[in-house]
Amino acid sequence: MTRTDVPADEPFPMGEREFVILMAFTIALLALAIDMMLPALAAISSDLGVSDPNERQLVVGLYLVAAGAGSLFPGVLADRFGRRPVLLGSLGAYIVLSLASAAVTSFEMLLAVRFAMGFITSGLFVLPMAIIRDRFEGDRMASAQSLVGMVFMVVPMLAPTAGQAVYLVAGWRMIFVSMALIALPMALWAWYRLPETLRPEHRQKIRPGIVAVNMFAAVTRREASGYFVAASLIQGALFGYINSSQQLIAEHFAAGTLFPIIFGGMALMMAGANFTNARIVERFGARRVSQTAVLFYIANGAVMLALVETGLATLWSFVPLMTVAMVLMGFTNANFQAIALQPFGHIAGAASSIQACLRMTLGAVLGTLIGQAYDGTAQPLALALIAAGVGSLALVLYSERGKLFRRLYQVRPPRQPSDWHNR
């Protein structure tokens, strides 16, 4: 019989390795929904009568915007009803709407289904973070999130290649069918193995006042706010690259059919960075690692812009520099998220929801704008990398009150109004 909760005095029924892999694969379904159809975007837009080359990016961009907006709700529901039912509902919706994407007859219908899918399945992005926070805290939480990020990054490595293989054999519609078939065993795995991680004393009533106060606290505490907004900027630059990657690498730099291999190799390096981060973060601290990475991130973006402006940018210079940028992202985002969520263990669902909502929405909007600014060169992307790095550094300095390279100390959360209502 499936375990639905774990008493505080009993050991967690899943091993840590299985737990991390399950959380990573759950979030990775979102990466699959973003990256698997990249090699087929041109064919999708052609078959559905799209004339503007940049318009094809909306298949990815609208999904990301919707996922950001939808992230506001699953954490609140999970704080009230538990993590399991909300997560399982998101997995079920992912399967159904993937199949619906395969059945569309117009580009407008595809965009509508993709928007609905991003909105309804946003729990796959929010809930793993809350579940991890239920189990871990501090630098240990940052380490677990980095391991999740490592597995998550393997998916972009494989997804374009898998998508291209499916497209060449069976057409682009089967890419969406394949997404549903991949999500099905994930849903069964979570159903049979994942227990409820929300402690009974942490359940929150869904009252607008309580929810508003909890979310307000999660986005206004100085030590958290700068970090999750900084993560949004870095993520927006990454989304901007993903949105324009097929045009930039396959067309502008003439990589052609090598695009999935190049894209995957870059993602593999980013996965390696997450693995390395998981190994070193408990020794050096999430703050020190991520803040150092931001400084190198800015310098790397400046080198890329200099090559673009001098006409020296080629496939063989752009790919290494973009790979370095992605590697440095691997040392920032998981740590930024852990630092921002650390003070809110008692309201982890609401905190992860509002932070994920703002982070994903801002990142998706920025990514869409960066992608739509594509002008046939790497200049818009290089400028975006520099702006994201400088903005992130300023926000981190705000949260840290001008001091860098401190350890992530355990923070005792302040007493919240939600505590008073639940007494």
Length of the chain as a residue count: 423
Q: Is residue 409 part of a domain?
A: no
Q: Work out the pLDDT band at 302, boundaries 50, 70, 90.
A: very high
Q: Is residue 153 part of a domain?
A: yes
Q: Is residue 200 part of a domain?
A: no
Q: Is residue 332 part of a domain?
A: yes
Q: Where are the alpha helices (DSSP H) in 246-347?
A: 259-284, 286-309, 315-330, 333-341
Q: What average pLDDT is seen over the chain?
A: 81
> For 198-240, how does the pLDDT look when each residue is reduced to its tens digit (9 = 90+)?
777 666 666 777 777 777 878 788 888 888 889 889 988 988 8
3-state SS, one letter per residue, for 200-243: HHHCCCCCHHHHHHHHHHHHHCHHHHHHHHHHHHHHHHHHHHHH
> For 130-175, how does the pLDDT look when each residue is reduced to its tens digit (9 = 90+)?
788 777 766 677 777 777 766 666 676 677 778 888 888 988 999 9
Distances (CA, A) of 93 to 88, 127, 180, 187: 9, 15, 10, 10
CB 56 within 8 A of CB 110: no
Q: Work out the pLDDT band at 349, boundaries 50, 70, 90.
A: low
Q: Residue 91: which CATH number?
A: 1.20.1250.20
Task: For residues 382-402, give the mean pLDDT.
Answer: 92
Q: Work out the pLDDT band at 270, boundaries 50, 70, 90.
A: confident
Q: What is the largest CA-CA distance in the chain?
A: 65
> For 26-84, how does the pLDDT look when each residue is reduced to its tens digit (9 = 90+)?
888 988 888 888 888 888 888 888 777 777 778 888 888 888 788 878 877 887 888 88
Residue 165, token pair as written in the block: 């293989």
Residue type, 405: F
Q: Is residue 353 part of a domain?
A: yes
Q: Work out the pLDDT band at 306, boundaries 50, 70, 90.
A: very high
Q: Is residue 417 part of a domain?
A: no
Q: Is residue 177 part of a domain?
A: yes
Give the structural domain span for 86: 17-192+208-403
The total number of structural domains in the chain stands at: 1
Cα distance between residue 289 and residue 336, in whole Å: 10
What was the pLDDT predicted at 294?
93
Cα 116 off chain centre by: 18
In sequence order, which residues have a C-beta less than 8 Å from that of residue 181 and are 6 or more positions away? none
pTM listed for this prediction:
0.66
CB 392 within 8 A of CB 233: yes
Q: Is residue 150 part of a domain?
A: yes
Which carries the bigger pLDDT value, residue 21 or residue 144?
A: 21
Is the pLDDT at 301 greater than 90? The verdict is yes
Is the pLDDT at 264 greater than 80? The verdict is no
What was the pLDDT predicted at 97?
95
Q: Which of 259, 299, 294 is nearest to 382 (CA)?
A: 299
